[in-house]
A and B are shown apart, each in its own frame.
Chain A
């Protein structure tokens, strides 16, 4: 089974979920997702997903000055992003519960 493709399909939800916990800039988010098990997803995909979600109006952004380099753009969930995350979480619960039933043999009866 190609784990990368499965993770890629869940990347939008993972990004929204990670940003719900606390706001991040691009590379910080890449590090956090990698730490949480998304190491098989290309880093460029995380950067691209972040920009797309921002353009879609699901994220708020704020430029924050940094001691360690140039100013960084921090992204956080706005209300539209929070709603979208709730919908995605519901879908995910439905899928996992269906899969669990099938894998546990209940769905074949």
Chain B
């Protein structure tokens, strides 16, 4: 949301605020940005931070007054993701505890089926908290793991579907899992 009447500095300020409101409901976000755009259009560039504070400070103040969680989302390369909160932190700790078993499980089919979902969860969390280039790595690894699990399950356990059909299903599942991780770890550009 960048009205054309705004200076480059004002537009940048507005964009930063918009990113920091990524997890706020659309109605509230649009209302605030419309009001703020009005205000910015009347402020000389040099007075913007003097009057409103930094974008971080502005949004923190807004969130506290609005009765929202004051924790700001993480902004990386113009992309905002929700803050790492309690349940995610617990998930990270649990996942790290299970990780060694999951890695060992890669050498055994049964263990892989058991621990595969945990590894997938770890990769999702890592994709969620990583900057953009690294996130893509976790997306691909997550997809590969999902596809491999599907392939092994069909090829080894369901004897009627093995060989080439299992490979096709594996690749399809891999693509779907990768797409799912990519979509759910990207909040808004």
Query: Which residues of A are interface residues toward B (Cβ below 8 A)?
Result: 11, 25-27, 30, 42-49, 51-52, 55, 69-70, 72-73
Contacts and interface: CB of A to CB of B under 8 A. Distances in A.
Contact of B38 (A11, A44, A46, A69): A69
Contacts of A51: 28, 31-32, 66
B78 interface: no
A33 B35 CA distance: 15
Given A27-B39, A42-B53, A48 B63 contact: yes
B35 A44 contact: no
Contact of B62 (A11, A44, A69, A73): A44
Contacts, number: 70
Interface string B41-62: 0000000000111000111011
Contact of A26 (B35, B59, B63): B35
Given A26-B32, A51-B32, A52-B66, A45 B39 contact: no
A48 B37 CA distance: 16
B7 to A, nearest CB: 16
B175 interface: no
B34 interface: yes
8 contacts: A42-B52, A43-B39, A47-B35, A47-B66, A48-B67, A49-B65, A55-B66, A69-B34
B39 A48 contact: no
A70 B61 contact: no
Residue in A25, A44, A45 with the greatest tally of chain B CB atoms within 10 Å: A44
Nearest to B63: A48
In this complex, the interface size class of chain B, counting residues with CB under 8 Å from chain A, is 20 to 34
Contacts of B51: 43
Contacts of A48: 61-68
A52 B24 CA distance: 13
Given A27-B35, A30-B39, A47 B67 contact: no
A45 B3 contact: no
Interface string B10-34: 0000000000000000001001101
Contacts of A55: 66-67
Nearest to B59: A44
B67 A42 contact: no
A46 B31 CA distance: 13
Contacts of A72: 34-35
A52 B65 contact: yes
Contacts of A52: 65-67
A45 B65 contact: yes
Contacts of B35: 25-27, 30, 47, 72
A70 B67 CA distance: 26
